[in-house]
Amino acid sequence: MGKRELNKAMTTLFERASALRIVLASPATSSAETGYAEAVLACAGDLLAAGEPGVALELADLALNHETTHSQEASRTLALLRAKALRLTGRLDEALSDIKQLNATVRHGETPRDFLAELRIVEASCLWRLNQVDAAILALKRVREELLGG
């Protein structure tokens, strides 16, 4: 991808984020607005991949605090995305706090295994960056065991 195409892609991504900010800044008006979580997840995920965790964090916060009713899965995924964005912005203690809250609310028999693995991987990444290497390795070994065992 050339520089021009990259600039265009980033501009489009920021335009998507801006449009979602406008929608999420306004009060909920109908049940049709419940689909915004998926749009936020897609855009914020793209922002994380593009190296823009601050904007992704802002979108996740707006979506989580918006008046619309999200599905349990969407709320859970938004919270994980928020933790990833916090980690990437260097707010590691906040990310670990969010992960701890998320861990307390998930039902391990009902929550998809890949979600739980991703949650633990983000947690291990935070621990690693906080120089808690032994705890990070232990968490990653647990992920490996769960993925190979199930």
pLDDT of residue 52: 93
* Alpha carbon distance 38, 43 (integer Å): 9
Nearest-10 Cα torsion for 47, 53, 59, 65: 150
What's residue 5's pLDDT?
A: 77
Separation CA 76–CA 3 (nearest Å): 36
pTM of this structure: 0.85
Give, for all 150 residues of the chain, the pLDDT tens digit.
Answer: 677 776 777 788 888 898 888 888 877 655 455 567 788 899 999 999 999 999 999 999 988 887 665 678 888 999 999 999 999 999 999 999 999 999 998 877 788 889 999 999 999 999 999 999 999 999 999 999 988 985
